[in-house]
Structure 1
Amino acid sequence: MQTTVSRAGAREWIGLAVLALPTLLLAMDATVLYLAVPHLAADLRPTDTELLWIVDSYGFMVAGFLITMGTLGDRIGRRKLLMIGAAAFAVASALAAFAPDPLLLILARGLLGVAGATLGPSTLALISTMFPPGQRAFAIGLWATCFSAGIALGPIVGGLLLEWFWWGSVFLLAVPFMAVLLLAGPFLLPEFRDTEAGKLDLTSVFLSLATVLPVIYGIKQHGSFTIVAGLVFGVLFVRRQRKLADPLLDLRMFASRSFSVALMVQVFTMTTIGGIYLFVTQYLQLVQDFTSLVAGLWLMPSAVVLVISSLVTPKLAERLSPAKVVGAALAVAAIGYAVLAAADGLAMVVVGFSLLYLGTGPVMALGTDLVIGTAPVGKAGSAAAMSETAMEFGIAFGVGVLGVVGTAVATNGQPLLESAPAEFTSGLNVVALLCAVITAVLSVLVFRLLKGR
């Protein structure tokens, strides 16, 4: 088994730049579709339910497969899994770009999610191997900056593409990026696998999928039976992990309060982001009547503050405790949501969205480092998978629950994309208010639970 290097050199930092490619794309693929929604809706004519599935099926499948893929990477090799995932992601992107109907687009987005589940844990786990603790926080901060930038830049890049090409072009963007990763990865990235790990427990894999997928499906479709079924499988999954000598998910990691609190913060932070993002991007097009390109440019201020706040977080963490940094950041995000809750025009929407992104950057950067930093080197893939699962599940949960609430307020029984401007704005306000409450409560909990840590 390889151990973490004592000091990262030029090769490691160039390798980090290569790892930024899948990180950017994973984040962009979660948001790049939002500005393309009116275009593909006009072309494919999906129902409201199909439209939500097109947007959310990617995160749905990523969340379901992350735990399995994170542990698989520890066993077969993190670089090897990254290469396999990159190739699959490129193929699935091409399938999505040329999907002729809503069903095939949903399926292609699902395949993208499965491929994406191999990429996220591998990149984070490789960073934990490539950089020693003294440099790891800064490296993960840069990783989080790339992830944040991808989320923020997705609609902007999408707007530029949609100005000149059809909606499928937002998917084809991934192909050249993945080609670069496949060519450069074997030369710049180290291989790592846990030689002491046992075989992958297929029963645990089944139970993990049977837990996550029914719960998310039940949330989206208001199916209490499927939610209960998923929770039952979740109990069985936990019981099996406790009995196995080499579990799919090492539950001992949850004994660390920093680990558990960081995961909680990631889940609910991304829940609020997932809930508000669809409404802000559609507000710019449906209410303000902007083109995709202009709408993307109006999101530029939020993208800038998100990147800046992510970059300065490691320096802040050297001077202040995690509780203060994360708690204060969440408080700023709550203020941003409150501004959106009262927004009745473009200026307040842009200011509110920028404020909530200013608070989101530190949460993503420091939260990820807290999760990875508490895990043993051999379990870094599993820990990274938990961090990614928390974020992806949060996005899916936000779209599935808050998206449904906002849609109910905005539509009054008619299709979402045909709702009146005033009604759509009301939906945005209601979702933002719920997000403000969630984030404010989360801020208080962080101050209390991470105090002195």
Structure 2
Amino acid sequence: MEVTQRDPRRWLILVVLCLSTLVLVIDNMVLTVAIPPLAADLGADAQEIQWILDSYILVFAGLLLTAGSLSDRFGRRKVMIIGLALFGVASLAATYATSPELLIAARAAMGVGGALIMPSTLSILITVFDEEERRKAMAAWSAVAMLGLIGGPVLGGVLIAWFWWGAVFLINVPIAVLAIIAALILMPESTGPQTRPDPLGAVLSAVGMIALVWTIIELPHGLSVPALAVAVLALAAFVVWELRTPYPMVPLGLFRNRTFSGASFSLTLVQIGNGGLLLVLTQYLQYVLGYTPTQAGLAFIPMALASLLCNGLGATLGAKIGNRPMIATGLVVMAAGFGLLASLSTGSGLVMTAVALFVLGAGGGLAMPAAIAALMGTVPPEHAGVGSALNDTIQQAGAALGIAVLGSILSSGYTGAIPATAPAAARRSIGDALALGDATIARTARDAFTAAMSDAFVISAAGVLAAAVLALLVIRDRRNDTAQTPSEPVPAGNH
């Protein structure tokens, strides 16, 4: 009975979902190495560079919940294909942008496409795979996302070395086209129940999330009180409205489930720790150890390998011992990885860095698939899209907060460790300090940066340990706890 209800194309469908996720993750990561050449070519100033980076995340985070609701209402495959098409066209526009303003507009359009793609991928996954196979599918999906995270900077360095900065956007186009064709051929359509739209909820969620992410992004430069006020008022109004309206866009009742809320907040704490990892460590590898951007990207390979190996192990063990112990164990291993990163010094070589990243990747590989499986296992199939969007939104906010907080700790710690007698340029950043060409200042700057980095990673380790404790205390593994999870395999789609 169970076997006949499984879609025979489900593993091919998983490939399409992984491709769709990969294009988003790679795009965000390759841009980090493309900023210097594109800024020089377009004549972008510091403020324009910030908008090139932030326009995507602002639109993406602001529209996730609305996009998830649209996918449940109008069809998850349809919304994902529209998102892929928009993302591809916007990437083509970004490739040939001739001014910072055009590139900012293209990045914002890519954010709209990304918001349509992301919730649909995970929601389609949980409707195509039954409970028995879902964990393995999520492990594969998580592993591909990790590959994109690590491989993005490497790919970006290679593309820029061989072509020009526009190639980091052009690479998205064939991937998007391939994913669209495969989705049309292989993927069944699925929808949730047809309910009345919730335009007020959509507007309030978009305004609130954009204001919240903007407040977090601006934290290193000071608290933006107007943005924070808009975020608090809009999100509070959103919660009140969603609880009162008979047709809510987001089923906030999901948070009454201990497993959903526990997994959500555990993932948020993990993302706060992970958010600043690449930001901090790539600077350490390049400015302190003297790596090129491509070499710095390659240094993350041990983390990717460990994640790939442990994703499969985590999926197998999680099915036997349950999500809660797997999440807690993986998070403790991750905390150990952050602890090893905090012990790095100016004299540390590749081996110590590789060991620390391997441990970190192993912990993530064990914990993340189990955490996502626990969270999505509590979401009713009819709310798969908006449930996925809720998960993505929480993690995006955590990652943005992590970048802001760890970046601020790194900046203030570095400045505080530089002697007051040093030149002003040396106190601004390690890059400016090394550009002065003074050996004594360079040595002082490297020591100061490494000390500040250690503080940032100690805080990351503490956040991940807090997530482990939260998972143990809150998440339940009893099968009857997740009453919303269907005991019979979920049909491939509603036609």
Find 1:401's aligned residue among 386, 401, 405: 405
Q: 2:456 aligns with which of 415, 424, 431?
A: 431
Distance 1:388 1:5 in 2: 31
* Inter-partner Cα distance in structure 2 for 1:110 and 1:406: 28
Match of 1:377? 381
Match of 1:160 among 145, 158, 162: 158
Q: Secondary structure at the match of 1:157?
A: helix
Call closer, same or farther: CA 1:452–1:175 in 2, change over 3 Å: closer
Q: Determine the structure 1 residue equivalent to 2:132.
A: 134
Q: Hey, what does 2:111 align to over in structure 1?
A: 113
Structure 1 segment 229-378 matched on structure 2, within 5 A: 229-344=230-345, 345-347=348-350, 348-378=352-382
CA contact (8 A) 1:216 1:227 kept: no
Distance 1:235 1:278, change over 3 A: same
Question: Quick one: distance in 1 between partners of 2:91 and 2:287?
Answer: 27
Structure 2 distance, partners of 1:50, 1:60, is: 15
The one-letter amino acid paired with 2:228 is I
Alpha carbons of 1:49 and 1:278: their partners in 2 closer, same or farther (altered >3 Å)?
farther
Farther-moved stretch of structure 1 (403-412 vs 240-249): 403-412
Number of aligned residue pairs: give it. 449
- Taking the aligned partners of 2:38 and 2:154, their CA distance within structure 1 comes to 17
| Kept in 1: contact 2:79–2:116 (CA 8 A) | yes
For residues 81-124 of structure 1, what are the alpha-carbon distances to aligned partners after superposition, in whole Å with 9 as ceiling and x for unaligned? Answer: 11100010011212223334444433332222221011111111
Q: How far apart in 2 are the matches of 1:52 and 1:427?
A: 23
Aligned to 2:467: 442
| Secondary structure class of the residue paired with 1:293 | helix
Q: Which shifted more, 207-216 or 415-424? A: 415-424
Give the TM-score normalised by the residue count of structure 1: 0.92
Q: What is the SS of the residue equivalent to 1:182?
A: helix
One of 3, 17, 20 as aligned partner of 1:19: 17
Matching of residues 42-53 of structure 1 within 5 Å: 42-44=40-42, 46=44, 48=46, 50-53=48-51
Q: Deviations over 1:169-202 (max 9, x none)?
A: 12211110001112121110001122x3223211
Are 1:206 and 2:203 an aligned pair?
yes
Contact (CA 8 Å) 1:28, 1:151: kept in 2 or not? yes
Structure 1 residue 426 displacement after superposition: 3.5
| 1:385 partner amino acid | A
Q: How does 1:84-233 map to 2 (within 5 A)?
A: 84-194=82-192, 196-221=193-218, 222-233=223-234
Shift of 1:277: 1.2
Q: For 1:291, give the aligned amino acid.
A: T
Corresponding letter in the other structure for 1:197: Q
Partner amino acid, structure 2, of 1:364: M
Bigger mean CA offset, 390-399 vs 209-218: 390-399
Deviation at residue 413 of structure 1 after TM alignment: 5.0
Partner letter of residue 20 of structure 1? C
Partners of 1:245 and 1:50 lie apart in 2 by 43
Report the Cα distance in structure 2 between the residues aligned to 1:342 and 1:51, rounded to whole angstroms: 33
| Aligned residues: CA RMSD | 2.3
If the length of structure 2 is used for normalisation, what is the TM-score? Answer: 0.85
Which 10-residue stretch deviates more, 344-353 or 387-396? 344-353
Contiguous gaps of at least 5 residues in structure 1: none
Query: Does the 8 Å contact 1:126/1:190 carry over to 2?
Result: no
Query: Would the aligned equivalents of 2:77 and 2:188 in 1 still touch at CA under 8 Å?
Result: yes
Retained in 2: the 8 A contact 1:259–1:374?
yes
- In structure 2, relative to structure 1, the CA distance for the partners of 1:42 and 1:376 (3 Å cut) is same
1:21 positional shift = 0.6
Rounded to whole Å, the distance in 2 between the matches of 1:306 and 1:99 is 36
Indicate conservation of the 8 Å contact 1:74/1:193, yes or no: yes
- Which is worse superposed, 417-426 or 236-245? 417-426
- CA spacing shift, 1:95–1:431, aligned 2, 3 Å: farther
Once the two structures are TM-superposed, the CA of residue 69 in structure 1 deviates from its matched residue by: 0.3
- 2:428 is matched with 414
Q: Which amino acid aligns with 2:354?
A: V
Q: Supply the AA of the counterpart residue of 1:92.
A: A
Partners of 2:322 and 2:118 in 1: CA distance: 27
Q: Secondary structure at the match of 2:214?
A: helix
Q: Secondary structure at the match of 1:33?
A: helix
The 2-side partners of 1:353 and 1:104 are apart by: 37
Q: Which moved more, 1:426-435 or 1:71-80?
A: 426-435
1:24 positional shift: 1.1
Provide the C-alpha distance between the structure 1 equivalents of 2:386 and 2:9, rounded to a whole number of angstroms: 25
Identity rate, percent:
33
- Structure 2: distance between partners of 1:431 and 1:312: 30
User: What are structure 2's unaligned runs of at least 5 residues?
Assistant: 416-425, 435-444, 479-495
- Does 2:389 match 1:388? no
Deviation of 1:46 after TM superposition, in Å, equals 4.8
CA offsets 1:247-282 (integer angstroms, 9 cap, x no match): 110111111111111111222212221112112123
Q: Deviations over 1:55-96 (max 9, x none)?
A: 344333222111100010011111111110001001121222
Residues of 2 paired with 1:108 and 1:416: CA distance?
31
CA contact (8 A) 1:5 1:131 kept: no
What is the CA-CA distance between 1:54 and the residue it aligns to?
3.5
Aligned position for 1:63: 61
Does the CA contact (< 8 Å) of 1:261 and 1:446 recur in 2?
yes
**Does the residue aligned with 1:32 lie in a helix, a strand or coil?**
helix
Shift of 1:162: 2.5
After alignment, is 429-438 or 42-51 more displaced? 42-51
Q: Report if aligned partners of 1:301, 1:354 keep a CA contact under 8 Å in 2.
A: yes
Pair 193,133 (structure 1): closer, same or farther in 2 beyond 3 Å: same
Residues 400, 81 of structure 1: alpha-carbon distance in 2 compared, 3 angstrom cutoff:
same
User: In the alignment, is the contact (CA less than 8 A) between 2:72 and 2:383 conserved in 1?
Assistant: yes
Point out the more displaced range, 398-407 or 5-14: 5-14
Cα pair 2:307 2:365 within 8 Å, conserved: yes
